[in-house]
Every structure is written in C-alpha cells, then in structure tokens.
C-alpha cells in the first residue's frame, strides 16, 4: 500500500535577524573587525570607499580608532562630503562604539564621529558627537558641548548605538540619540543651530587630528552608517535592531 508523506508549510517565526529598513540616500554602511566575513569596506551600493586616516588597528570585532599611543591618531573617513546638497537635505549618522580606555568619572572624551578636515574649514565649523568618561553622550556641533545624554543603563565602556541627525539648511536642528539607553526612543537631546555652511569635509569615525582637542582618548568602533537624509525615529530603531542582531554574531552586545 503506497505511503503518503505530508510536509507542513515552512515556519518563519524564528528569524535570525530583522531586515534592514529602507534608507533614503544611504552613502555608507559598514561593520568593522576581522571576524565573520572580515569585510571592513563600505557595503552601501554605489557609496564611496572608506579611507583609513593614520593606522587603524582591527581586532576580531572592532576597529581601534581615535588617539593611539598618546601621540598619533586613527580614523576611518567615509569620504561623504558636506556639499550643498547634503547640507540642504540634512543627514543621519549612526555608529556602534565604546570608550573602553576611559576612567569612570573623568571628563575625557572619545570621538564617535565628526567631519573636521585637516587643512580644511576650522574646527569651529565641524559637526561632532562625543562620548565622555562621565557616562555621557555629548552633542558637539561647532566644537562646543551643546547637550548631553546621561547613560544610566550601560556604562560608556560598553558598546552603545549612537545616532545624530541634522534637519538641513543653514539653520536647523541637531539631535543626538543613544538607542542602547532606550531602544525605542533613544532618549534624544537637541540643539538649534544657525550659520551652518557646506564644505569639503567628510564624516569620519575616530579622531583625525590634535585639532579635535576635545577628544583625547582611543575609541573602538564596530558599525557605522551615513545617510544623507533625516531618518525617522522608526527607521533608526529598525537600523539599530538590524545592526544589533548582526553584531551579536560577533559577540557584541549593544
């Protein structure tokens, strides 16, 4: 007597990682480290290559950036310039980073990302997001601390998912987020700016020069994203969840 084999339909309830949401004008998307596929370049289709500044050192799940050995500097430059189109449309920068060399309670800073250019516009016109040994994420446009997020859930020495947006134009609003502190709101803080100009500088992670003198410590990066658009909170949360799931394979919790 013939046997009938019945196969049930597939069950997709146990998805390994959430999908990456649609990101308008995505320029750079990268994971850093020698583990997994070991690709440290830009994964955004059509985006520019990531350029090393100084001598970044890659561990299994991170790039060691910022101040190195007290005298030299290392960074990864996205080569996405702050041109007139980018200034008009605004941007969203995101990164997963930690400052493991910071002494708790000491107000020393590490550069999460910024766009100061050696030989370019002065530091006073740069856009920056810092982390502070006093367990703070600092919004730092114009090389001045404008607002900060106090980290209560996870110390600065752990990986956090940071984001910064600018609404665009000569006058607009900068907003900083820390999605590790709150995965649904990012506990945002904002600063209303004026007199913003386009230029040839480009977003980098890590510190590129002693001119960025408010950042004096090494910092480790595992992920970066640069979009020349202002992403919604829901989209940023989606990027965070996607990056978090992929970084978990490398042993990183954020």
| Residues facing 97 on adjacent strands | 160, 221
Distance CA 38, CA 31 (A): 9
> Which element (helix H / strand E) includes 93?
strand 91-98
- 225, 32 Cβ separation under 8 angstroms: no
Give a yes or no: residue 173 inside a domain: yes
Give a yes or no: residue 97 inside a domain: yes
Q: If you count them, how many residues does the chain have?
A: 254
User: What's the domain range around 137?
Assistant: 81-215+228-248
- 203, 42 Cβ separation under 8 angstroms: no
Buried b / exposed e along 68-82 (16+ C-beta atoms within 10 A): beeeebbbbbbbbbb
* More confident call, 94 vs 72: 94
Distance CA 222, CA 117 (A): 22
Q: What is this structure's pTM? A: 0.90
Give a yes or no: residue 209 inside a domain: yes
- In the chain, % helix, strand, coil (3-state, to 5) comes to 10, 35, 55
Give a yes or no: residue 99 inside a domain: yes
> Which element (helix H / strand E) includes 70?
none
Here the tokens at position 180 are 């590790």
Instruction: Considering only CA atoms, give the Rg of the chain.
Output: 19
pLDDT range class, residue 124, cuts 50, 70, 90: low
Give a yes or no: residue 211 inside a domain: yes
Q: What is the pLDDT of residue 12?
A: 47
Give a yes or no: residue 210 inside a domain: yes
Give a yes or no: residue 233 inside a domain: yes
- Residue 206: DSSP 8-state: E
pLDDT range class, residue 135, cuts 50, 70, 90: confident
Average pLDDT, the chain: 88
- 48, 157 Cβ separation under 8 angstroms: no
Choose the weakest-confidence range: 80-89, 95-104, 186-195, 215-224: 95-104
Number of compact structural domains in the chain: 1
Span 127-135, average pLDDT: 84
CATH number where 140 lies = 2.60.120.200
CA pseudo-torsion sign 197, 212, 208, 244: negative
The answer, yes or no, to whether residue 4 has pLDDT greater than 60, is no
- Residue 105: DSSP 8-state: T
Give a yes or no: residue 5 inside a domain: no
SS3 state at 7:
coil
pLDDT range class, residue 110, cuts 50, 70, 90: confident
- From residue 100, how far is each of 95, 133, 160 by CA, in Å? 16, 9, 11
- For 187-212, write each residue's pLDDT tens digit: 999 999 999 999 999 999 998 887 77
* More confident call, 214 vs 136: 136
Span 21-28, average pLDDT: 98
Choose the weakest-confidence range: 4-13, 42-51, 126-135, 220-229: 4-13
Contacts of 119 (CB under 8 A, 6+ apart): none
pLDDT range class, residue 7, cuts 50, 70, 90: very low
């Amino acid at each position: 007597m013939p046997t009938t084999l019945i196969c049930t339909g597939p069950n997709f309830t146990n998805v390994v990682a959430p999908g990456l949401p649609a990101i308008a004008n995505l320029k750079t998307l990268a994971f850093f480290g020698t583990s997994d596929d070991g690709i440290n370049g830009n994964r955004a289709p059509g985006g520019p290559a990531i350029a090393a500044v100084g001598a970044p050192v890659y561990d299994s799940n991170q790039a060691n950036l910022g101040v190195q050995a007290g005298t030299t500097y290392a960074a990864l430059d996205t080569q996405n310039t702050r041109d007139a189109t980018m200034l008009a449309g605004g941007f969203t920068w995101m990164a997963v980073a930690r400052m493991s060399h910071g002494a708790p309670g000491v107000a020393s800073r590490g550069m999460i990302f910024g766009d100061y250019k050696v030989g370019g516009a002065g530091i006073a016109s740069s856009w920056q997001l810092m982390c502070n040994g006093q367990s703070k994420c600092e919004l730092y446009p114009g090389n001045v601390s404008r607002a900060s997020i106090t980290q209560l859930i996870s110390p600065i020495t752990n990986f956090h998912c940071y984001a910064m947006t600018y609404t665009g134009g000569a006058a607009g609003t900068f907003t900083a987020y820390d999605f590790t502190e709150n995965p649904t709101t990012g506990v945002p803080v904002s600063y209303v700016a004026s007199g913003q100009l386009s230029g040839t500088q480009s977003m980098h992670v890590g510190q590129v020069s002693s001119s960025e003198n408010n950042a004096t410590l090494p910092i480790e990066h595992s992920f970066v994203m640069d979009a020349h658009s202002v992403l919604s909170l829901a989209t940023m949360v989606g990027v965070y969840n996607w990056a978090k799931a992929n970084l978990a394979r490398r042993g990183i919790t954020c």
